Structures are given as C-alpha cells and as structure tokens.
Amino acid sequence: MRDHRRSRRPAALLVATALAFGTAACGSGSGSAGSDDPNMLEVWTRSNPDSAATYERVFTAFTKRTGIKIDYQPVINFDQQLQSRASTKDLPDVMINDTALMGSYQSQGLLKPIDPASIEGGDQITDRTWASTVGIDGRHYGIPYSRQAQTLMIRTDWLRRLGLKAPRTWQEMLSVARAFATRDPDGDGKADTYGMVAPGSAQNGYAAWWGASFLWQGGAEIIEPDGAGTYRPAMTSTAAVNTVTWMKDNLFCGDKGVTQPGALTAVTATATNFQDGNAGMYMTGPYNIVTFDQTLGRDKYEVVPAPAGPAGGDVLADGENVYLGAKTGNDEQELALAAFLVSPEGQRIAMTSVDGHQPVVRIPVNSTLDAAKVRDDARWSVVQKAYEEASQEFPNAPDFAPVKQDTADALNAIFTYCGGDVRSQLEELDETLAGDLKDQDLLK
C-alpha cells in the first residue's frame, strides 16, 4: 500500500499556517495589504498575463461603476503565496480560484461563509450551481463565478479528407483515432499524425482530471458519498475495473498512434499536438477555443459532444468561485464586488476576448445569459449544453486534492506498465483513498 500521507504534506503545511492565522486574523486591518484605505479591496486571481488582462477590464468597470478601488494581484503560484499570506495573518479580501479548492480552503479556515441571499443577483444563479459551493457543514463558502465542461475538439478537415464523421461512441472514437494515426489525414505522405491528445501525467493530478470523464462515461466513481456526510472509495467497482482496463488497453497499450507520443508524461502545457496540427482529437475545456482559433484556425476544427461510453456521455465540469478571505473588514465592498462579478454586465465583460486575451468566464453562472449569444459563436452552445445536461464535478466539500493526486498516480502507473493486473492495482488505490478520507474524518 502506498503511504497516503505523502499527498497530505503540502496541505498540512497550509493547515499549520491557517491555524496560526486563526482568530488573530479576525482582528486584522481592513483593506489591501499595506493599505489603510477602507475603500480598497485586495483581489487575487490565479492568472497568467493573458487572462489577467481580462480581469483588469472587469475590475476597471467595477471601480467606474461603484468607486471601490481594486488592488489586483494576478498570482501564478497561488497556493504557495496564499500559504505565505496566511502565515502573516492577513489574507486577501477576495480570491478567484478553482471550484475544486473550496473544500481544502474551507477545512483550513481560510474562507468566510456566505449567505447566497446577501449577494445581489444571487437568485439569477441556479440552485445546481450554488450547490457546488456548499461545505461539509452545509454552509456556502464560495460564490459561483464561471463554469465549464469538457467537449471533444476534432479536426473537421481530416474527417472530410478521410470520409469520416465525428464519433458519438467510444468505439467510433477509437476507429477515428486509428484512421487519423494511419491514413495520412493531412496528406503530406508522412506517418506523422496521431489520433488524440491525452495529458496523462501524474503531475498535479492530470491523469485523474483528464480521465474522470472516461470514468463517469463508464459508470465509475472515484469516491462515493453515503448520504450521511461521509464517503467511501469506489475504484474497485466492476464499472471502474472495466473502464480503466478499456482505457489502458485501447488508449495507452494498444495500437501505436492512438494517443500522442509521451502522453503519459504530458500536462496541458506540453500537450500541444492538437494546436500544433499533428493530432486530430482532444477532449478538453473550452478555454482552449481562443487558443486553437489563433494557432490552428477556426475553419479546421469543430466542437462536438464527448463520445458516450457504456453509462452515457457525462464529462468533467469545473470552474472558478469567488472566495472571501476569513477576516473582518470591507464586508460591504466585498459583497458589492461579488454582485458585480455575477451580474450580466460583469459576466459579459469577462466572457469577451479583447486583443486575443483569454476570457475568464466560460459558461456564465448568471442564468439570464447564453454563452453562444454573448460571443456570437454557436460552438459555445455545445459547451453550455454539456455543462447543463451531461456533466459532473469532483466532490467539492472534501479536500479533493489528495484524492485526485493519488488517483492520478495510480492511473498513470497502470497505463505505463501494461502487463500489470488492473484489479489489484485499483484495490491498492482504494486503500490509499481510504487513508485520504480518514485523514479528513470523512471515511464511512
């Protein structure tokens, strides 16, 4: 059995600093770090310069409308910097980061609880979306900001050249992938194309993040709630064993070229074969649409629903929440910013690409908006329909980070060593997941 505790060490460090933060933080000064201006909010996002430019437009519009100033900090190494700030007993006022981090932040005492009724316009967010911000204790700890769901992006010019159609099932997807790998779809006379892109590295949990859609389509779950606030590991179910076996045999240990070379060491930053023009399919998030339009060309690919497995076509949904740092001060200003961020005006600005910069809201959480209409781009209706009708999210109340990482480690090992016994390897994974849940007092 692997030592499940290793995956808890980074979180444990953050817990220690959060405990040091504790009640002392409640008396910390208002406003941004180093500022005594009560009308200034310090806001962090996990952003590179491209998406930060879009956030700048959002915050500029907010300040123009309200007079509340924003000390905006785009942070790439978000959790590392958050740990540092927690140790100084002064968290940012507002943070925008992944939905999957809510359980971790809440368990460490870093977030204020939120009453949805206190957010102007909060009633324009669906109950389903609000539900993804509920913690173990039943209280809300985030305000939904952006959502997304994975879809299949596929080379339509290759399909036309080979006389094929976009796949609707796993088997059809495999047939198309093999054709893309062997039938010279780009017409250059060289064996230099691949069926599909897979970011299958264990690093940062990518194998579990990318593989989750396949697990759900096969009828599997990683962990299951028992209805009483606790969970149990579920990776030894018949559905899980069958699905992981199918993925191993067909995507990684089967015909050469079905996935790109180096798939099992690839993360999203290095899995560039689709935009580079030598892989024909990629099941990924809609944030790549702007990138692929610029690098590959909008006329060369389309966005279609993910092919269905034995249990259906559900895909991974995730997104970002607005989090309020666990300290007093500036409550009125924080709620005003949250209300603007989820308003039709704030969401439209964040959904729009200017000068090629990446939008930061993909599927709007404001139910009065339609992603395809806002962008005048029908492809976004495919993404929005996937989110609304055929998607699942990772459990948000537990700290899912160690669960995702340990699952990724196991899947990556299974796909790397093709001769291994899948069932016994998943039994070992379930033991490790039980340890992760026990660490959080969430094991059934």
Q: In terms of residue numbers, what domain contains 243?
A: 161-315+396-440
Residue from 304, 329, 283, 294 nearest 32 by CA: 329
pLDDT classification of 328: cutoffs 50, 70, 90: low
Is residue 133 pLDDT above 50, yes or no?
Answer: yes
Rounded to the nearest 5°, which phi and psi values hold at 325?
-60, 145
Residue from 243, 161, 290, 239 nearest 414 by CA: 243
Q: Examine residue 1 and state whether it is found in any structural domain, yes or no.
A: no
Is residue 216 pLDDT above 80, yes or no?
Answer: yes
Is residue 8 pLDDT above 50, yes or no?
Answer: no
| pLDDT at residue 312 in the model | 97
Mean pLDDT value across the chain: 91
Q: Examine residue 27 and state whether it is found in any structural domain, yes or no.
A: no
Looking at the fold, whether 137 and 195 belong to one and the same domain comes out as no
Q: Examine residue 177 and state whether it is found in any structural domain, yes or no.
A: yes
Q: Examine residue 133 and state whether it is found in any structural domain, yes or no.
A: yes
Looking at the fold, whether 181 and 257 belong to one and the same domain comes out as yes
| Whether 387 contacts 188, CB under 8 Å | no
- Average pLDDT on 34-46 reads 84
Dist CA 205 CA 436 (whole Å)? 15
The percent of residues above 90 in pLDDT, for the chain, comes to 83
| pLDDT at residue 288 in the model | 94
Looking at the fold, whether 165 and 139 belong to one and the same domain comes out as no
Query: How many structural domains does the chain have?
Result: 2
Looking at the fold, whether 293 and 236 belong to one and the same domain comes out as yes
82 residue type, one letter = L
Looking at the fold, whether 331 and 242 belong to one and the same domain comes out as no
Is residue 129 pLDDT above 60, yes or no?
Answer: yes
Dist CA 442 CA 107 (whole Å)? 12
Looking at the fold, whether 294 and 435 belong to one and the same domain comes out as yes
Q: Examine residue 32 and state whether it is found in any structural domain, yes or no.
A: no
User: What's the half-sphere exposure (Cβ side, CA atoms, 13 Å) at 366?
Assistant: 23
DSSP letters spanning 232-285: EE-TTSHHHHHHHHHHIIIIISSSTTSB-TTGGG--TTT--HHHHTSEEEEEE-
Stronger pLDDT, 27 or 136, i.e. the higher one: 136
Q: Which of 392, 412, 430 finishes a domain?
A: 392
In the block, which residue shows the tokens 């930053």? 269
160 token code pair: 């036309």
Angle at 48 between CA 46 and CA 54, to 5 degrees: 90
Q: Examine residue 138 and state whether it is found in any structural domain, yes or no.
A: yes
Q: Examine residue 349 and state whether it is found in any structural domain, yes or no.
A: yes
Looking at the fold, whether 89 and 212 belong to one and the same domain comes out as no
pLDDT classification of 35: cutoffs 50, 70, 90: low
Dist CA 131 CA 295 (whole Å)? 37
Angle at 386 between CA 146 and CA 323, to 5 degrees: 20
* CATH number of the domain enclosing 199: 3.40.190.10
Stronger pLDDT, 76 or 150, i.e. the higher one: 150
295 residue type, one letter = T
Looking at the fold, whether 170 and 72 belong to one and the same domain comes out as no
Q: Which of 392, 407, 431 finishes a domain?
A: 392
Give the residues across from 97 on adjacent strands: 321
Is residue 4 pLDDT above 80, yes or no?
Answer: no
Q: Examine residue 231 and state whether it is found in any structural domain, yes or no.
A: yes
Is residue 132 pLDDT above 60, yes or no?
Answer: yes
Which pLDDT tens digit goes with each residue over 366-405?
999 999 999 999 999 999 999 999 999 999 889 999 999 9
| Whether 369 contacts 342, CB under 8 Å | no
Looking at the fold, whether 235 and 279 belong to one and the same domain comes out as yes
Looking at the fold, whether 308 and 182 belong to one and the same domain comes out as yes
DSSP letters spanning 210-240: HHHHHHHHTT--SEEE-SSS-EEE-TTSHHH
Looking at the fold, whether 327 and 218 belong to one and the same domain comes out as no
| Whether 202 contacts 294, CB under 8 Å | no
Q: What is the CA radius of gyration of the chain?
A: 22
DSSP letters spanning 313-378: --EEEEEEEEEEBSS-S-HHHHHHHHHHHHSHHHHHHHH--STTPPPS-SEESBTT--HHHHHT-T
Looking at the fold, whether 381 and 232 belong to one and the same domain comes out as no
Query: What pTM, to 2 d.p., does this model score?
Result: 0.88
List C-alpha distances in Å: 20 to 26, 246, 288, 324: 12, 47, 40, 18
